[in-house]
Amino acid sequence: MEDKLTTQEVKKLNTKKGLLALLSKDPLNIERGLRYVDYQKKLKKLQVELIRLQKWAINNNERIIIVFQGRDAAGKGGAIRRLTERINPRHMRIVALSKPTEDEETQWYFQRYVEQFPKAGEIVFFDRSWYNRAVLEPVNGFCTQKEYDIFMNQVNDFERMILESGIHLVKIYMSISKKEQAKRFAEIKSNPLKQWKMTKLDERAQDLWDQYTEYKNVMFQKTNTENSPWKIIRANRKTEARVNVINHVLNSIPYDRDLEV
């Protein structure tokens, strides 16, 4: 970047957000600070549109499901936070299911997810979903080959029924490089406020990288259908990924863009 800043760039940096961006990380990086100010401006504009989308859903009793999948530390949680931080919390839910209970293990695999589906006027965000059985479970030995095969045979029909019932379904996969994942794991381990995020599965993720890739590719091949496609978001740069996620959600649902908010 040139040493000389334009008047507009100086104005951007001479704001609370600009100064925060400059001073929050060492070493001082003017280009990064400018990018962050631009990101915050874009984010605010997009979040207004999300409020409009939610108002449309409430007014028209629409039901929306947004599924997030991706490797560990890919930024799923951060993207969901930016999607939800400005909308009405009474008409949305974030679902991040833990390990199945003994009772749930005896049920139809999709059942516990169906129980979390949206009511009229509600948006549900799945931070990981039924697609755990497509990648995470077989890689880590949490399901049998037969259970995996049954899932892969049923999932497209399952999603067809979701769509035919009138629910809007958006599927997003957050994609990062192996190097970026290793970098984020190191940052998590060194930050006492984030160490709780590191799980035993995360510890094995780098060693199992190729196995995850193999199952991920099969998942895309089998479940990236015309009616229920995947959107792959390149997520090595978090701010860019978050903007792209919100844009994709807004472009995937035919809401009233002229609605007053």
In the prediction, which pLDDT does 224 show? 98
Q: What value does the mean pLDDT take over residues 24-44?
A: 79
Give the whole-angstrom CA distance, residue 216 versus residue 37.
35
In the prediction, which pLDDT does 6 show? 80
CB 58 within 8 Å of CB 121:
yes
Question: What percentage of the chain has pLDDT greater than the value 70?
Answer: 90
Give the whole-angstrom CA distance, residue 189 versus residue 196.
9
Give the whole-angstrom CA distance, residue 33 versus residue 22.
5
| 108 contact partners, CB below 8 Å, separation of at least 6 | none
| 224 contact partners, CB below 8 Å, separation of at least 6 | 230
Give the whole-angstrom CA distance, residue 161 versus residue 28.
52
Lowest mean pLDDT of 22-36, 43-57, 166-180, name the range: 22-36
Q: What value does the mean pLDDT take over residues 149-161?
A: 98
230-258, pLDDT tens digit by residue? 999 999 999 999 999 999 999 999 999 99
Q: Where are the domains of the chain?
A: 61-252
Query: pLDDT at residue 77 above 70?
Result: yes
Query: pLDDT at residue 1 above 80?
Result: no
Give the whole-angstrom CA distance, residue 136 versus residue 199.
13
Query: pLDDT at residue 220 above 60?
Result: yes
In the prediction, which pLDDT does 30 show? 76
| 61 contact partners, CB below 8 Å, separation of at least 6 | 120, 121
52-64, pLDDT tens digit by residue? 999 999 999 999 9
In the prediction, which pLDDT does 55 show? 98
Residue-averaged pLDDT of the chain: 93
Bridging pattern class, strands 63-70 and 92-95: unpaired
Residues β-bridged to residue 168: 64
In the prediction, which pLDDT does 164 show? 98
In the prediction, which pLDDT does 191 show? 94
Can you say how many angstroms the Cα of residue 261 is from the centroid of all Cα atoms in its chain? Answer: 25
Q: What is the CA radius of gyration of the chain?
A: 20
Q: What value does the mean pLDDT take over residues 214-234?
A: 98
CB 230 within 8 Å of CB 171:
yes
Fold held by 61-252: Rossmann fold (3.40.50)
